[in-house]
Structure 1
Amino acid sequence: MKLHYKTLLALAITAALAGCGGDDGKDGAAGAAGAAGAAGVDGTNGTNGTDGADLTAAPRLTRLATVPLGAEITGLFKTDNGELFFNVQHPSDTLAAPDNNAAVGVIEGFDLDQLDPKLAAVAVPASGSTEATQVILATGSYKVLGRAGDTYQGAMPFGLGAITNGANNASLKQSQDPDFNAFVASNADGSAGYLYTSWEDRPGAVSRMEVTRATDGSWSVGDVMNVDFSAVLGTIINCFGTLSPWGTPLVAEENYEAENTERWNDASYTSGYPSYNDVKLIQDYLGGTYPNPYNYGYIVEITDPLAANPVPVKHFTLGRMAHENAVVMPDQKTVYLTDDGSHKGFYKFIASTAGDLSAGTLYAAKVTQDATSDTARAGMNLTWIELGSATNAQLATWIADYDGFDETDYVDGATNYITDAEIQNWADNNVGDDRYAFLETLKAAAAKGATTEFRKMEGININYHGVAGNTVPFMYVAMSEIASSMADDSGDIQLDQNLCGVVYRLGLDANYNTSRMEPVVVGGPYDATAAVNPCSTDSISNPDNLIILDDGRVIIGEDTSKHENNMIWVYNPEGK
């Protein structure tokens, strides 16, 4: 009971894993609640009363799905009709074919907007069971729309998820890493449209499936193609994303190389980021031209998404970093951006013109932590430091200044690119233009005094109509784990380590500004001695993708090795 007591104490100001009834008790079962609350064990209706009524104010966490061994959950996307698309990324090679190949799919017979709050949760699969090798859902059935390598009767000659060169006449590698999904409807009732799927590799790719929902609710696939990124010199590590308010997919380039540009053309650097081998693959994509590092690490908007040939636009204005995703507020100007990895920042962009991300001002957050290191209780106040203003056109000119370098120009201990001294001089003395804010965003943020200590900041999202109408005036962000730069004894953030992760909630004011983040779903406890599931299966482990529903519930997808089977959770802050 010590665990439950501590968790409920944290929930007094935040939220965590809470069920409304006792473990395995009628109507208050762990199955119904997903995660056990501070309730009776094996008691009929639970010791807290019928249906756990006296805990209805306590937030509740319900396990909606589990996926096969080795797979993570990516691409969570809800349509306006409540359909849920998601991917089974890189399942274990030990699974039998075809289940050992990544899948892009949708739940049929399911309406997420009408999800029963008392839905019985999926059980944790037993090790070695058949369930551990399958997608298991609390309701509905998972329809695979495509697997890595599928050719669709020759429409994809190199296979779904194949990374081709810019000329699209040779395959560079086969990816098992589908990530972001976005469904763009092509008719009024949303029964037809295009499903865009990012492939998280170096170089990256985005596939587009024409999909149709029949009157019986079943989905089918028509034409399939890859978006042509050759005009923007290709992409890398296409991670999560969102659909803009004006209906265009916003694909995030998760460029871990962004803070280590000086090693980009170092031929001896093959074990870290940027790996010289990966840089050479981008060179292959470009047909032999050595790539300029400042062309990679941005939010890529896919404009004209219903056209025969969609047009990608790289928004240099949103900064160069390991983008996880960007979410645009209802004013169609304010954008929040997360940066994945360790020692990272949190960013805001304000566009000059609504609906146009090609010009604006970039900001980075400065954190003041509450006076406690308890991860389940410590909120953080945020102030925003202006980094710089620019347009895509200006930045394209500045980026071109670094064209033409290759491995023959590398000198150990020096760099052909922007130096740390340049950045610090710009920050301290206002010397030079604002290229540093956009091309070396992390270093520029640190030089300006912003907090660069976040660890594994993942998906960030809102319910668009809930924020616009002030019915769900919150933004949520997943922190995969609290460790490293967030759990040391220096800097702005000094929290207790939590290797299972936290989901934070951020309030939004009438102008879509946020000034505080607070923990609401806390993973764990963590058991380092456990052979499997070192993070308790009663709560989240390494949260990643997020969806916020119209009623304020939050869908959480995991990217974890600390649960043997990754899970999708429903967090209900009202405890229903």
Structure 2
Amino acid sequence: MVEFTRRKLMATSAAAAIGVGAVGTASGDDGDTPGAPTVRGSLDRLATTARGAEVTGPFVFENGEVLFSLQHPSRENPSPYDTAAVGVLAGHRFEFDGRNDEFDELEPPRSNEAQGRVQVAGGEYEILVQEGDEINGGAERWGHPQTPDGTDIGSFVGSQYGDVGYNPDMNFFVPTDEEGLEGYLFTNNETSPGCISRTPISRGDDGWDADPEGAMELENRESFREIGGTRINCYGDLSPWGTPMSAEEDYSHPRVSGSATVGDVVEAGSGVGLRGAAAFWNRPNPTEITDALDELFDESWYPQGGWALSGVELQAYYLGADPVDQDGETNTTEPIGDGYPNRYRYGYIVEVTEPASAEPTPVKHYAMGRAAFECPGFMPDERTVYLTSDGANKGFYKFVADEPIPSYDDRMDVRGTLYVARVTNEAAAKNDPPAEVDLEIEWIALGTASNAEVASWIADYDDITQIDYLETHAETDWETDLETALAEADETVAIGGNRDYVTDEEVLEWASQYEANGPDGVDEELRRVPFLETRAAAKAVGASVEFRKAEGIDAVDDADPGDFLYVGISELNDGMADESGDIRMDRVDGGVVYRAELESDYDISTLEPVVVGPDATDRESIVDAAPINVDNLLVLDDGRVLLCEDKGSFGRSYPNDALWVYEPPTSLSVDSVAVGQEATGTAELTLSSVPDGLAGGRVTVSLEHTDVAEITGASYHGAIELAADPTISADGSTVEFQFADLDDEIQPGATNVRLATVELEGISAGTTDITADIHALDADDGSAIDTRSHTGVVVTGPPPIGDGSGGRPPTDVDGDGLYEDVNGNGRLDYDDVVVLFEHIESDSVTLNVDAYDFNDNGRIDYDDVAELYDEL
């Protein structure tokens, strides 16, 4: 216990050095950054929203019609645009041909009347449902959570996380008919307690209609209260198996502010100036903590996420706690006892299972980690999930389930590994313009667990209340002198941490054991740390927890390897544009949209910038014509991308956020391929799209290392009528293609156009890049096709092992880079274990450590045999 002295204490010098006093603000001068703005491809403005509102929750129906939310519009707008709503862009449909020629770009709104409403290119915004509408037979209001006795949460005094119902975000439609014209619309509302509305909608001859009578607020069901409800539900995703996935954007989760780490706190001997909002979660009236810290310390600070503590006490009333801190007009500091929410129950991905049933059931995917999740991106393998976290100095995460998620009979049994990204290339830390820098990523495994395991750890903290904050951290009896006890507790927590939850010492001990033994070698009681304190754990093991407002993330629904995952960085400043860490680039407050090519196992390793926003200092005409602060984004079936703005305070000639349609450049890619030594394989040369057709071109495919593989042959696909014979170099390192499409066999708008096949032979074990260099590529009108080339990888496996393999080279059966099929028969079986055991000291094994190091310790040993056996 730290003695309370009723005097201001100096913040530590460590806090000043780290510079966390103004976390979450876009501060500093924004100079003229080269390449800001830049668009690699083209884009057009499809809609502008009403003054004051973001464009959020985009969704495109199967018939090509578009829907989005009117989030927090100005109350000064004319009705109905002064009220939050969800509506359809009537009169516009996407044709899914990869081209923006189905609409004429919308001009910016110039008049006051145009700025006060939603405008759509070639159509109108038809509202389906609005905040506060009576639903469910009048028992509920749209976007309004209730207490168990039916009291509207908005009727309580005290801090609120925005006006109730005012912040609709995610929208996903679950059809109940084969035509996709009837079903349920699921809408998130960013508030605390959280809100997920289910609204029946259908399309008739006159357009889409909503049925408010049949709508319901899912959070008011008992099944939601049983898991603590939800909190600050932001954007989300529709899973490949058709269930809505809602992201809890719990900004209050940081235990340390900005770039600080738990190690910095311990080294400084104090958390003053360093702690984040999470330390004050169970403080009575937690939103007053900043003023309280200012009273206690000479150099006060703003705990990161402190503003998001608003609504926490309303969460308690939603769960059924007695509203003891209400005096009718203001919120008091009388502590809430039984029923206070557990901080570790929020900040997850929430799946709405059985979405079309009478009682949809929520499941929180605790094993995917805990953060201020903007949204997840579920991949078609039904195992891989990418997760972006909003705010400053946040992580970029990936979860890989052991088995396809829908294959688990009970979602609580879903088990998998949580990863966090580390940016590895030196170019990312040289303060270069973001338009010129790819971000190379490696994934750090934080831990493996099931939803049920994490749920059991969370339950250990269920009975912690505001009374505990006082009784754990203050010497004065709060019932005798509440003011003094609260000040004592605030000082104790600021300096030494909140002892009611996972402690600093536990985080550091986990990190120490992780460094020594890896993620699977920590004590059982410490396995909870990376799942309950995900951001702090990621920082402790060297991840790049520097991403700034990583918000939208999506890929085409049926994405295959070679397709792209898009990631929106709404603002590139703070941790991504400072003088420390793995990411140090020139700031672009207009943000950046990155894309990453999906690899064979749905992994990604490179983020390349494709849309770069403007600088805040750019002249008005530039800012008017560029996308700013891209938040939500949605990839259409034809590869185009909807970009939704949350533009902040930029100096446009008009105040409205816009919805843009991004048409990416054509991608020329060559497949990655695995071949055995002295075996052959093929790699396809493919154009992602040709919006204006393909007249012809000249392309060279090259191998970097001919000691690993050689090009032995090549051929064209049938659509190519006129072509020169492929020219292969004498050393097998290159092949040149020259071709023309004389009879327009390749039509404008075609996608995934296969041009040629390259035949490869494996020479020796190793890897080599295979690249496509474009000398010329022309459209039907004679213009050059804007094309980006993407590199593949050729992996040549180890040679056959002894007589047991019958001369067949081993194969990598699951694409993880390890050659489990030791005997080369195409599958993993017991004979593979025997062959490896018998030849463990042979050159064919010892000279190919990367192929057989199954225990990942950097050498070949008998534990590799045991690990291979365990895989059977």
TM-score normalised according to structure 2 size: 0.57
2:639 alignment partner AA: G
> Larger deviation: 238-247 or 556-565?
556-565
Cα shift readout 1:160-179 (whole Å, capped 9, x = no counterpart): 11122245443336220001
Contact between 2:641 and 2:663, CA under 8 Å: does it hold in 1? yes
When the two chains are superposed, the root-mean-square deviation of aligned CA atoms in Å is 2.2
Aligned residue number for residue 265 of structure 2: none
User: Which of residues 561, 581, 584 in structure 2 aligns to 1:494?
Assistant: 584
The reply on whether 1:225 has 2:189 as its aligned counterpart is no
**Counterparts in 2 of 1:178 and 1:507: CA distance versus 1, 3 Å:** same
Q: Specify the SS of the correspondent of 1:376.
A: helix
State the Cα distance separating 1:220 from its structure 2 match: 4.0
State the Cα distance separating 1:460 from its structure 2 match: 0.4
Aligned residue number for residue 51 of structure 1: none
The reply on whether 1:434 has 2:490 as its aligned counterpart is no
- Write the distance in 1 (CA, Å) between the matches of 2:51 and 2:388: 28
Number of aligned residue pairs: give it: 519
Cα shift readout 1:264-323 (whole Å, capped 9, x = no counterpart): 112264155265552211110111101110111110000000001110111111111101
Contact between 1:16 and 1:61, CA under 8 Å: does it hold in 2? no
Give the alignment of 1:148-547 within 5 angstroms: 148-152=131-135, 155-172=137-154, 174-221=164-211, 223-227=214-218, 228=221, 229-260=224-255, 261-267=278-284, 269-271=286-288, 273=306, 277-288=310-321, 289-356=339-406, 358-369=414-425, 371=427, 372=430, 373-410=432-469, 411=473, 412-413=492-493, 414-415=497-498, 416-429=500-513, 430-431=522-523, 432-465=525-558, 467-468=559-560, 470=561, 473-527=563-617, 536-547=623-634
Cα shift readout 1:371-392 (whole Å, capped 9, x = no counterpart): 2521111111000000011111
State the Cα distance separating 1:526 from its structure 2 match: 2.0
Q: Specify the SS of the correspondent of 1:112.
A: coil
1:144 alignment partner AA: I
Contact between 2:201 and 2:208, CA under 8 Å: does it hold in 1? no
The reply on whether 1:72 has 2:59 as its aligned counterpart is no
Contact between 2:144 and 2:152, CA under 8 Å: does it hold in 1? no
- Write the distance in 1 (CA, Å) between the matches of 2:454 and 2:553: 26
- Write the distance in 2 (CA, Å) between the matches of 1:285 and 1:66: 36
**Counterparts in 2 of 1:341 and 1:534: CA distance versus 1, 3 Å:** farther
Q: Which blocks of at least 5 consecutive residues in structure 2 are unaligned? A: 1-31, 156-163, 256-277, 289-304, 322-338, 474-491, 514-521, 667-690, 692-872
2:249 alignment partner AA: E
The reply on whether 1:551 has 2:535 as its aligned counterpart is no
- Write the distance in 2 (CA, Å) between the matches of 1:274 and 1:396: 27
User: Which of residues 113, 124, 128 in structure 1 aligns to 2:108?
Assistant: 124
User: Which of residues 120, 136, 147 in structure 2 aligns to 1:137?
Assistant: 120
Aligned residue number for residue 728 of structure 2: none
1:77 alignment partner AA: F
> Larger deviation: 343-352 or 219-228?
219-228
Q: Specify the SS of the correspondent of 1:120.
A: coil
> Larger deviation: 547-556 or 267-276?
267-276
**Counterparts in 2 of 1:161 and 1:220: CA distance versus 1, 3 Å:** closer
The reply on whether 1:573 has 2:655 as its aligned counterpart is no
- Write the distance in 2 (CA, Å) between the matches of 1:354 and 1:279: 35
Aligned residue number for residue 97 of structure 1: 79
Contact between 2:641 and 2:661, CA under 8 Å: does it hold in 1? yes
> Larger deviation: 295-304 or 168-177?
168-177
- Write the distance in 2 (CA, Å) between the matches of 1:285 and 1:71: 27
Cα shift readout 1:487-510 (whole Å, capped 9, x = no counterpart): 101000001111111100111111
State the Cα distance separating 1:518 from its structure 2 match: 1.0
Contact between 1:64 and 1:137, CA under 8 Å: does it hold in 2? yes
Q: Specify the SS of the correspondent of 1:353.
A: coil
Contact between 1:477 and 1:505, CA under 8 Å: does it hold in 2? yes
2:422 alignment partner AA: K
Q: Specify the SS of the correspondent of 2:535.
A: helix
User: Which of residues 125, 141, 147 in structure 1 aligns to 2:130?
Assistant: 147
Q: Specify the SS of the correspondent of 1:210.
A: strand
Contact between 2:144 and 2:217, CA under 8 Å: does it hold in 1? no
Q: Specify the SS of the correspondent of 2:529.
A: helix
State the Cα distance separating 1:365 from its structure 2 match: 0.5
- Write the distance in 2 (CA, Å) between the matches of 1:166 and 1:557: 36
State the Cα distance separating 1:151 from its structure 2 match: 1.3
Aligned residue number for residue 34 of structure 1: none
Contact between 2:376 and 2:386, CA under 8 Å: does it hold in 1? yes
Which structure is higher in RCO with an 8 Å CA cutoff and minimum separation 6? 1
- Write the distance in 1 (CA, Å) between the matches of 2:171 and 2:309: 29
- Write the distance in 2 (CA, Å) between the matches of 1:422 and 1:178: 38
Q: Specify the SS of the correspondent of 1:477.
A: strand
> Larger deviation: 254-263 or 510-519?
254-263
Contact between 2:147 and 2:319, CA under 8 Å: does it hold in 1? yes
Cα shift readout 1:154-199 (whole Å, capped 9, x = no counterpart): 6344421112224544333622000100100000010100000001
**Counterparts in 2 of 1:398 and 1:522: CA distance versus 1, 3 Å:** same
- Write the distance in 2 (CA, Å) between the matches of 1:157 and 1:527: 50
Q: Specify the SS of the correspondent of 1:383.
A: strand
State the Cα distance separating 1:70 from its structure 2 match: 0.2
Contact between 1:557 and 1:567, CA under 8 Å: does it hold in 2? yes
- Write the distance in 2 (CA, Å) between the matches of 1:95 and 1:286: 35
**Counterparts in 2 of 1:144 and 1:275: CA distance versus 1, 3 Å:** closer
Q: Which blocks of at least 5 consecutive residues in structure 1 are unaligned? A: 1-5, 18-57
State the Cα distance separating 1:480 from its structure 2 match: 0.5
State the Cα distance separating 1:219 from its structure 2 match: 3.3
**Counterparts in 2 of 1:168 and 1:477: CA distance versus 1, 3 Å:** farther
**Counterparts in 2 of 1:510 and 1:379: CA distance versus 1, 3 Å:** same
State the Cα distance separating 1:111 from its structure 2 match: 1.9
- Write the distance in 2 (CA, Å) between the matches of 1:114 and 1:335: 25
Contact between 2:92 and 2:121, CA under 8 Å: does it hold in 1? no
**Counterparts in 2 of 1:107 and 1:437: CA distance versus 1, 3 Å:** same
Contact between 1:363 and 1:388, CA under 8 Å: does it hold in 2? yes
- Write the distance in 2 (CA, Å) between the matches of 1:268 and 1:280: 8
Cα shift readout 1:515-558 (whole Å, capped 9, x = no counterpart): 01011001113228x8xx79802111110111112222111001
> Larger deviation: 512-521 or 420-429?
420-429
1:187 alignment partner AA: D
User: Which of residues 64, 69, 81 in structure 1 aligns to 2:63?
Assistant: 81
